[in-house]
Amino acid sequence: MVGYLVRRLFLVIPTLLGIIAINFVIVQFAPGGPVEQMMAELKGRGAGVTSRITGQGAAEAMPGGDGTYRGARGLDPHIVADIKKMFGFDKPAHERFLLMLRDYLRFDFGRSFFRDESVLKLIGQKMPVSVSLGLWSTLLVYFVSIPLGIAKAVRDGSRFDVASSAAVLVGYAVPGFLFAILLVVLFAGGSFVQWFPLRGLTSPDSQNWGLAARITDYLWHMVLPTLALVVSGFASLTMLTKNCFMEEIRKQYVVTARAKGASEQRVLYGHIFRNAMLLIIAGFPAAFIGILFSSALMVEIIFSLDGLGQLGFEAAIRRDYPVMFGTLYIFTLLGLLMQIVGDVMYTIVDPRIDFEARK
């Protein structure tokens, strides 16, 4: 197992570099970079001029033959050169990429273009919010999906199975962000009642409260965003649990256990459960990463949660490249490491699995 883990860790490096390189190349062709946005601000048109101007203004915003926007041609060339130097665009793309890799190997992600803060500091500030949301959501998804999947497998074909399958199908079909909007409209003062807070994870004056009150306030703020992620995330895991149990129920060792007089509960939880749960339990790290870095993005924006999702979204809108690539680097690295953790969990759940024996 040690040799397998060492090989997997070495494979993380080229995979990480490849993902960063592909995204770096894509970003080079994206219009309206930080230099153009800064020049637009200096011309008094605002940071989003490249995407908002229409009509005659759009003609002015089209790139000219020199690679700059026509609306910025009135700027002093020395000012334009200083702006490019400030953002590091005075160097060729390949040189900027190599410098970025050198810094990233030391976990130096630079400073945000527009926040004037260290990218690593920004990520550290936002990470607890996203991890908190992702962890609670993943745990609840497992607590809902596993019992429901087992119940569906035991009652396969019954009315309960059909009705729960319909509910699972609805949960699978409705995106998490759409369900989040529905929750806001129904329970956060949208059009009906305001039982839950709409913004943030804590109330404005909660720092002056006692510990029990602060915990209750935090949990109350977490209800709607967590519920939005759970409803959209439990469907696939429920069906996976059911299918795993259905496959194990038909195997010979289950028939043998029943023939020996074992009770149904003993057969279900003493024999089937361990084998059926192998894939599900070992997939927990991947499920956590999936919720943390994909599903939570729009939910964080809708509920104004100041986490990594909202940070990355704002960085993409403003073309804040250090924040964009810094968060991408962290996301990718964590995802690759969590895949290795998932493999380790396979061997913990079932010691018979030997990755070293694979060719």
Which region among 39-53, 79-93, 231-245, 335-349 has the lowest average model confidence (pLDDT)? 39-53
**Threshold 0.85, pTM exceeds:** no
In this model, does residue 43 exceed pLDDT 70? no
pLDDT band at 190 (very low <50, low <70, confident <90, very high): low
**Measured CA angle at 45 (ends 39, 49), to 5 deg:** 85
In tens, the pLDDT along 247-276 reads: 888 788 888 888 888 787 787 777 787 777
Supply the pLDDT for residue 71. Answer: 47
Average pLDDT over residues 69-95: 66
Q: Which CATH superfamily is domain 126-357 in?
A: MetI-like (1.10.3720.10)
Average pLDDT over residues 165-180: 80
| 78-82, 154-158, 202-206: least confident range | 78-82
Higher pLDDT, 101 or 207: 101
d(CA 133, CA 137): 6
Contact criterion met (CB below 8 Å) for 244 and 156: no
Contacts 24+ apart (CB under 8 A), 108-112: 109/322, 109/325, 109/326, 109/329, 110/322, 110/326, 111/322, 112/315, 112/320, 112/322, 112/323
Average pLDDT, the chain: 76
pLDDT at position 355? 63
> Would you tell me the crossing angle of helices 211-249 and 273-282 to the nearest 10 degrees?
120
* pLDDT beyond 50 at 55: no
Tokens of 156: 């396969």
More confident residue, 320 or 69: 320
What digits encode the pLDDT tens for the residues 274-296? 777 777 777 777 777 777 666 56
Residue with the larger pLDDT of the pair 115 and 45: 115
How far apart, in whole angstroms, are the C-alpha atoms of residue 3 and residue 5?
Answer: 5
Q: Is the pLDDT of residue 56 over 50?
A: no
Name which of 17-26, 148-157, 200-209 the model is least confident about.
200-209
For the chain, how many helices (H) and strands (E)?
Answer: 17, 0
The Cα 236–Cα 244 span in angstroms is 12
pLDDT at 34 over 80: no
In the chain, where the domains are located:
34-106, 126-357
Q: What is the pLDDT of residue 101?
A: 85
Residue 107 has pLDDT above 50, yes or no: yes
Count Cβ atoms below 10 Å from residue 258 Cβ, excluding itself.
14
Q: How confident is the model at residue 64 (pLDDT cuts 50, 70, 90)?
A: very low
Which pLDDT score, from 0 to 100, does residue 68 have? 46
Report the share of the chain in percent with pLDDT over 70. 77
Secondary structure (DSSP) of 135-155: HHHHHHHHHHHHHHHHHHHHT
Report the percent of the chain where pLDDT is more than 90: 0
Q: How far apart (Å, rounded) are the C-alpha atoms in residues 191 and 116?
A: 39
CA distance 315 to 87: 14
Residue 63 has pLDDT above 70, yes or no: no
Q: At residue 298, does pLDDT exceed 70?
A: yes
Inform me whether the pLDDT recorded for 47 exceeds 70. Answer: no
For 264, the token pair is: 């149904």
Q: Is-contact 146 241, C-beta < 8 A? A: yes
Is residue 345's pLDDT more than 70?
A: yes
Give the pLDDT score at 44. Answer: 64
First to last CA, the chain: 13
At residue 220, does pLDDT exceed 80? yes
Does the CA dihedral 93-95-96-97 come out positive or negative? positive
Residue 302 has pLDDT above 60, yes or no: yes
Average pLDDT over residues 150-178: 84
For residue 206, the 8-state DSSP code is G
Is the pLDDT higher at 183 or at 57?
A: 183
